[in-house]
Chain A
């Protein structure tokens, strides 16, 4: 049931994209019709809305879609925005898997600090939008096609083995799993060396950045 609902919604999205590409003047009409269709689909299958599988599937779909848009969209700033959406989806996956501390850290560090760095770079270097998606010449095209086929086969193989595994039950985790206390306990006991080495690496990076910047100005 859940799978059919998700596939139905995905199909609606593709139909909308096709209509927008082929007949842009009909976008509003298509959007209204398809939106009503999506709502009807959801209303009929409202039981599926309460299942974690549906939400996991939906978040996964949004994650894949935003990742695709990062690569496809010509404007770098919009690519960054789609990447932020993708990172939020990953954080939601962490939440579903009960790693709450990691989910919030993902938003703070990745979506909140690293992506700000990206935004700064795009703004300061004044990166303009590309003219359009231009595919490369003969060998590049065939190579890309071959690698795409290999990728799809790999994905099928990886997912095929897991298709009969049940979704992880929420009760299967011990209490306190994924909390700051649990993660901190691990970081300061079993993984202490890696933790300290990572902090040394960060300090080295900071000092290096300051030295390079100072040399340019001074």
Chain B
């Protein structure tokens, strides 16, 4: 086999295994973080019995889900019912493959990018697989042959496609400033000209709101609201399949946070790190840790908002998406065009 192809295959396989492992571990521990942080906000203790500080709780939960009886109701449409959890999980993972978690560095004599796929259209790949995520939910609700599931699925799909627009428009602002669709170029632009958070604050807020809506998290979680729709689109799922939905939601959260960090908060950039004159591997490690901390902050923000704000009513939700976010996003694009014209960014 051609040595170049072999090298690319091995490198990609290692990166994929590493990213997959990290992502799944973070997703598992997010369940614990959610419970502990919500407990802290509500002035009580969360799970702290299983292992020190409850750190083995996700393991216990995983084992519990494995042993739970997987009841498949007789009235579901089986092929699509079995396919839906996978359809919702895969886009979240694929989207993470284009996000750079650190700078390029010299490893084993090769120049290695800390990113699985350095695609020229990185941002578009993310948008493409975000729009694929709608199918998992819609099909889960439809195949369940249950009116509450169908309602939840319809609401969720409508919500997702509405907020996709606002998200896309806010990303256009970032693209105009950076002049490229590659995520590495966007991070590089932020390193040179200051984080997009500073220059494009309205876009950042729009993106954050849209990300909350896209991941079906409170205050936008009416599709899976326990009080209104039993459990929405995942009512008829149990055991490992239900946990797939659960994990997919957290995986989407992690991806959305990573995206917010990459597009608006400078990715892996640590301002002033070059002043320390660290050797390259150490500097790369610090930057990867910084990326992790920033993503962690956004995940904490997700949990914080969930346990602080009440849920939006469905018409309020759609109003916000179409009548508020969309016009503000368009005005934001005007603002960014002005910035680009004046060469301020």
Is the C-beta of A23 less than 8 angstroms from some C-beta in chain B? no
How many pairs of residues, A versus B, come closer than 8 Å at their CB atoms? 72
- Distance to closest chain B CB from A122 (angstroms): 8
Q: Mark B78-104, 1 if CB is under 8 A from A, else 0.
A: 011001000000000000000000000
Distance from A95 Cβ to chain B, minimum over Cβ atoms (Å): 10
Of B17-25, B134-142, B224-232, B275-283, which stretch is located at the interface? B134-142
B121 close to A101 (CB less than 8 A): yes
Q: Tell me if B154 is interfacial: C-beta within 8 Å of chain A.
A: yes
Q: Are B134 and A104 in contact (CB under 8 A)?
A: no
Question: Contact size class for B?
Answer: 20 to 34
Of the four ranges (under 10, 10 to 19, 20 to 34, 35 or more), the interface on chain A belongs to 20 to 34
- Asked whether B53 is an interface residue with its Cβ less than 8 Å from the other chain, the reply is no
CB of B314, distance to nearest CB on chain A (Å):
16
Assembled-state Cα–Cα distance A3/B153 (Å): 44
User: Do the beta carbons of A179 and B120 come within 8 Å of each other?
Assistant: yes
For residue B128, CB closer than 8 A to chain A, the reply is yes
Closest to B119 in A: A100
B37 CB-CB contact with A under 8 Å: no
Chain B contact surface mostly = helix
Let me know if B157 and A119 touch, CB within 8 A: yes
Q: How far is the CB of B95 from chain A (nearest CB, A)?
A: 12
**Closest B residue by C-beta to A120:** B157
Task: Indicate whether B240 reaches chain A with its CB closer than 8 angstroms.
Answer: no
The interface residues of chain A, by DSSP majority, are classed as helix
* Cα–Cα, bound, A179→B120 (Å): 8
B128 lies within 8 A of A116 (CB): no
**Hey, which chain B residues are within 8 Å of A115, CB to CB?**
135
Q: Within residues 29 to 88 of chain A, which ones have a CB less than 8 A from any CB in chain B?
A: 50, 75, 77-78, 81, 84
| A112 close to B (CB within 8 Å) | yes
* B1 engages A50 (CB within 8 Å): yes
* CB < 8 Å neighbour of B121 from A84, A104, A113: A104
Question: Which residues on A are within 8 Å of B, measured CB to CB?
Answer: 50, 75, 77-78, 81, 84, 100-101, 104-105, 107-108, 111-113, 115-116, 119-120, 122-124, 179-180
> B residues bordering A, Cβ < 8 Å?
1-2, 5, 77, 79-80, 83, 119-121, 124-125, 127-129, 131-132, 134-135, 138-139, 141-143, 150, 153-154, 157, 161, 181
